[in-house]
Structure 1
Amino acid sequence: MNNFLFVAAENDGIAKCKAGGMGDVVRDVPRQISERGDRVHIVVPSYSRLHQNGSFKTHLNIQLRGITYTAELYEVIPKKEYKNVHHYVIHHPEIEAGDIAHIYHNDPKEPFYTDAIKYIIFCTAVAEAIKKGSFGRLDIVHLHDWHSSLLLFLKTYHPAYSVLKQIRFVYTIHNLAIQGIRPFDNNYSSIKNWFPEIPIDHRGLMDYRYQDCINLMAVGIRFADAVHTVSPSYKEDVLLPSRPPEFIGGENLESDLQKANNEGRLFGVLNGSNYANIRVAETGNIYRNILKAIFIWLQEESKKYKADFLAHTGEKVVEFLKEPPSFVVSSVARLTEQKFYFFKRSPESLITILEQLEKVNGVFILLGTGDPDYETLFREVSYNHKNFIFINGQSEDVIDSLYLETDLYIMPSLFEPCGISQMLAMRNGHPCLVHQTGGLKDTVKHLKTGFCFDGESYDEKIRNMNEVLAQVLDIFTNDKTQWKKIQDNARKMRFTWEKSVDDYYKYLYSINP
C-alpha cells in the first residue's frame, strides 16, 4: 500500500474549505487513490475555525523567527467517509481566516503579506508532522500551488527537515499567475525574518523580475520531482512567454518550466469532473432560487451596502416568473481579470451580446463576487440593460440551477489552466461558448460539443466572440436538429478522475497503477 500526503490551501472534502477549483481537485483525487487500495492523508490550514470539532492529534513545536512556535494537528470529519482517506487541519492563532472565502487574505498594498506569514507557519508545521511520523511513512507528498511550496524550500535547505529528501514531491500548478512573491529580507513576511538561521540561496529562489524577492511558485517548479499543469494544452501554453492580452503563457517563469520539461519533470494531465453523487437542484426553480438567495442576502448586515442593487436585481427576476426568457446564457466565476478581462476592457462587447440576446428574447445571468472594479462594471450594465441579470453573491442553489437550466454557458477566460465550469455545464447537456485557451481547448470542440472563439489579435478575439454568439443563436433558432446534436454530444463527454489519476500514477507518482 502506497502512502500519500496532499498539502494544500483548500480541501472541499471537508466543509467550508473551498474558494476555487483547487478544492475540488484536493477532494476528488484522494477518493480515486483510495479506490486503488492506497492510503491518503490531506492537510490544510484550520484558518482558526476548521479545527473546532476536530480530534486533537499532536502538538507541533517548530523554530521560526528564532523562537518556538507551537501548532496543533487535528483530524477532522469529512463530508463523506472514504476508506483510507484521512483529513487534517493545522491550527495556530496566526493562521487566520482571510476575506476571500474565509481562506485567503487580500492585501492590496503588499500582496501576499498576510498569506505568506500563515502559509510559512502552516508548511513548517506540516514538515514537523512528517518528521514526527504523524502521517506514517510517506511515499508521495503532493503539493498544490505556492501556498504549499515552502515544503520544498525546507526539504532543500533546512537541516532539521532532511528527512523530506527521502520522499517524492509532486507539485501541481492550479494558477500560475498567483506566485506568492515576497522579499528575501527587511520585511516581517520575509524568508530571512522567519528562517534567520538559513543562508539564502538568492539565485535558486529569486524572482526574475524582483530579484530581491523569493518566488514561491518558482520554488515549486524548480525543486519538485514532478511538476503538473492541469491540462495538456496549458502545459504547451506555459512553455511560451506571455504576450498579454493576446496570449497568456509562462508568466515570466517559462524558462523554469522549459527546464523542468527538458528534464522530464513537467506533465500536463487534464483535471477530471465528478459524475457521481451530484448535488442537483430541481428543474424549474431557477428564478425562485435567485429570489430566495436575494431575500436572504438583504437580511445580512454585510450586504447592506449593496441592498439597493439586490432589490433592483430581484425586481427584474420577478418578471421572469410570469414571462420566462426564451434563451438563457449564464456564467459563474470569481470576478477577476482571468475570467472577465474581455468585458472589462471592452464593455461594448458585453453590450453587443445583450443586444444579440434581446432579438431572441434572451438574457445573460452572471453570478459572482470579486474585484470591486468588475462588480461596479456589472452593476452599471445591469441598471442599464434589463436582460443582464448580475447576481452579486454566492449561492450553491442558484449555481446548481444555472448549471442545470441555462441554454448556453459562456467562459470568455483570458487564460484557463483547466476549468471545471465547462465540464459541469456539459455534464447537464449545455453547450459552452469558450475562448480557445488552455484546458478549454482540451474540453470543448467547436460545433461538436460547444462553440469556440479565438484570434491573432485582441480585437479579432472580441469580434470573433460576438460572431460566434450570433452563430449560436442562429443554430438554436433555425436548426434544432444540430442544436440537439451538440447538446447530446456535450452531455456524453466524460472527463473522469479515474482516467486522470491513471496518468497521475504513471507520470506524476511513478507508480504502476
Structure 2
Amino acid sequence: MKNFLFVSAENDALANCKAGGMADVVRDVPRQIAVTGDHVHVVVPAYNRLHKNGRLISELKFNIRGEATVASIYEVAPKKKIQGITHYVIDHPEIVEGNIAHIYNDDPEEPFFTDAVKYFIFNTAVAQAVKQNIFDHVDVVHLHDWHTALLAFHKAFHQDFTILKESWFVYSIHNLSLQGIRPLNDNFASINNFFPELGYDYEKIKDPRYNDCINLMAVGIRLSDKVHTVSPSYMQDIMRPSHKPEFIGGEGLEEDLRIAFAEGRLHGILNGVNYKNMRVAKKGNLYANILIQIFKWIQEESKKYKSDILANTGEKVVHLLLNPPSFVASSVARMTEQKFYFFKRNPEALKEILKNLEAKNGIFILLGTGEPEYERLMRDISYEHANFIFINGQSEDIIDSIYLESNLYFMPSLFEPCGISQMLAMRNGVLCLVHHTGGLIDTVRDGVDGFAFYGSHIDETVSNMVKAFDHCIDVYQNDRKRWGVMRRKAKAVRFSWEDSVKRYYDKLYTY
C-alpha cells in the first residue's frame, strides 16, 4: 500500500476552501486513489479560519527569518467522509486569509508578496510535519502549482528536512501563468530573508527573465521527479513560447518544460469529473435560486459595494419569472484575463452577442467574481443590456442550476489548462461553445458534441467568436434534430477520474 501526501493551496473536500478548478482536482483525485486501497493525507493552509472546528494534532517548530516559530496542524472534517483520506490544515498567524475567495491575496504593486510569505511558512510547516512523522512514511508527495513548490526546494537544499528525499515528488501545473516570482534578496518576502542559513543551487531556482528572482513554478518543474499538466494539449502549448495576446504558451518556462519532456518527466493527463454521487440541482429553480441568494448577499456587509448591481440583477430576474426567455446562454468563471480577455479587448463583441440574443428572446447569465477591472466592465455592460444577467458573487446552488438549465454554456477562454466547467455542463447534456485552446481541444469536438471558434490572430478570433455564438442559436432554433443528437453525444462523453488516475499511477506514481 502506498501512502500519499497531497499539498495544495485549495481543497474543495473542505467547506470554503475553493477558488478555482485546482480545488476540485485536490478533492477528487484522493477519492479515486482511496478506491485502490492506498491512503492519502491532504494538507492545506488554515487561512486563520479553517482550523476552528478541527482537532489539534501537534505543534510544529521550525526556523524562518533566522528565528524559531511555531505553527499548528489540525485534522479537520471534510464535507464528505471517505475512508482512506485524512484532511489537515496548518495554522500560523502569518498564514492569512486572502481577499480572493478568502484564500489568495491581490498585491498589484508587488505581486505575490503576501502569498509568498504565507506559502513560505506553510511549506516549511509541512516539511516539519513530515519530519515529525505526522503522516507516517510518505511514499509520494503530490504538489500543486507554485504555492507548494517550496517543498521541492526544501527537499533539495534544506539540511533540516533531508527526510523529504525519501519521498517521490510529483508536481502538477494547473495554471502556468501564475509563477510565484519573488526577489532573492533585499525584500521581506524574499527567499534569502526567510531562509538565510540555506545554501542552494542558483541555476535550479532562478527566474529565466529576472535573474535576481526565484521562480517557484520553475522550482517545481526543475526539482520534482515527475511533472504533470492537466491536459495533453496544454502540455503541448506550454512547450512553445508565448506571443501575447495571440498565444499563451510557456511564459518563459518553455525551455524547462522541453527539458522535462525530453527527460521523460513531463506528462499531460486530462482531468476528470465526478459522475457518481454528484450534487444535483432541482430543475426549474434557476431564477428562484438567484433571487434567494441576491437577498442574502444584499444583507451582508461585505456585499454593500455591490448592492446596486445585485438589485439591478434581481429586478431582471423577477421580470424573467413572468417572461421566460427562449434561449439561455451562461458562463461561470473568475473575472480574469484568462477567462474574459476577448471581452475586455473588444467590449463591442459582447454587446453584439447580447443584441443577437435579444432579437431571439435570449439571455446571457454570467456568474463570477475576480479582478476589479473585469467586474467593472461586466457591471457596466449589465446596466446597458436588460438581457445580460451578471451575478457578481459565488453560489453553489446557482451554479448547479446554471449547469442544469442552460441551453448553451460559453467558455471564451484566452487559454485553458484543462477546464472543468465544460465537463460539468456536458455531464448534464448542455452544449458548450469554447475557444479551441488547451484542454478545451481535448474535451469539446466542434460540430459533434459542442461548438468551437478560433482564429489566426486575436481580432479574427474575436470576430469568429461572435459568428460562432450566432451559429449556435441558429442551430438551436432551426435544426432541433441536430441539436438533440449533439446533446446526447455530449451527455454520453465520459471524462472519468478512474481513467485519469490509472494514468497517474502509470505515468506519475511509478518509480
1:79 paired residue number: 79
CA distance in 2, matches of 1:52, 1:380: 39
Runs of 4+ in 1 over 3 A off after TM superposition: none
1:58 paired residue number: 58
TM alignment of 1:412-491, pairs within 5 A? 412-491=412-491
CA distance in 2, matches of 1:394, 1:51: 22
1:228 paired residue number: 228
In structure 1, what residue type is equivalent to 2:480? Answer: K
- Which 5+ residue runs of structure 1 have no aligned equivalent? none
1:202, CA displacement in angstroms? 2.5
CA distance in 1, matches of 2:357, 2:105: 38
CA distance in 2, matches of 1:460, 1:81: 49
Q: Which SS does the other structure have where 1:6 is aligned?
A: strand
CA distance in 1, matches of 2:15, 2:304: 27
In structure 2, what residue type is equivalent to 1:230? Answer: V
2:162 paired residue number: 162
- Native 8 Å contact 2:204 2:223 kept in 1: no
TM alignment of 1:45-194, pairs within 5 A? 45-194=45-194
1:200, CA displacement in angstroms? 4.3
1:207 paired residue number: 207
User: Is 1:289 matched with 2:292?
Assistant: no
User: Is 1:390 matched with 2:410?
Assistant: no
In structure 2, what residue type is equivalent to 1:446? Answer: D
CA distance in 2, matches of 1:138, 1:300: 43
The superposition leaves residues 211-256 of structure 1 with CA deviations (integer Å, 9 ceiling, x where unpaired) of 1110000000000000000000000000000111111110110000
CA distance in 2, matches of 1:371, 1:253: 25
- Native 8 Å contact 1:171 1:224 kept in 2: yes
CA distance in 2, matches of 1:232, 1:302: 40
TM-score (norm 2): 0.99
2:248 paired residue number: 248
The aligned length equals 511
Q: Cα RMSD over matched residues?
A: 0.9
The superposition leaves residues 96-134 of structure 1 with CA deviations (integer Å, 9 ceiling, x where unpaired) of 111111111111111111110111111011111111211
The superposition leaves residues 341-385 of structure 1 with CA deviations (integer Å, 9 ceiling, x where unpaired) of 000101111011111111211111111111111111111111111
Q: Which is further off, 197-206 or 335-344? A: 197-206
CA distance in 1, matches of 2:190, 2:373: 30
- Native 8 Å contact 1:192 1:200 kept in 2: no
- Native 8 Å contact 2:449 2:490 kept in 1: yes
Judging changes above 3 Å, is the alpha-carbon distance between structure 1 residues 339 and 426 closer, same or farther for their aligned structure 2 residues?
A: same
In structure 2, what residue type is equivalent to 1:207? Answer: D
Q: Which SS does the other structure have where 1:47 is aligned?
A: coil
In structure 2, what residue type is equivalent to 1:220? Answer: G
TM-score (norm 1): 0.98
CA distance in 2, matches of 1:446, 1:428: 18
Q: Which SS does the other structure have where 1:456 is aligned?
A: coil
CA distance in 2, matches of 1:427, 1:396: 16
Q: Percent identity?
A: 61
- Native 8 Å contact 1:362 1:387 kept in 2: yes
CA distance in 2, matches of 1:298, 1:80: 30
CA distance in 1, matches of 2:358, 2:55: 56
- Native 8 Å contact 2:282 2:401 kept in 1: yes
User: Is 1:378 matched with 2:406?
Assistant: no
CA distance in 2, matches of 1:411, 1:141: 33
The superposition leaves residues 306-352 of structure 1 with CA deviations (integer Å, 9 ceiling, x where unpaired) of 22222111111111101100000000000000000000101111011
CA distance in 2, matches of 1:357, 1:70: 57
- Native 8 Å contact 2:5 2:41 kept in 1: yes
- Which 5+ residue runs of structure 2 have no aligned equivalent? none
Q: Which is further off, 459-468 or 321-330? A: 459-468
CA distance in 2, matches of 1:65, 1:164: 21
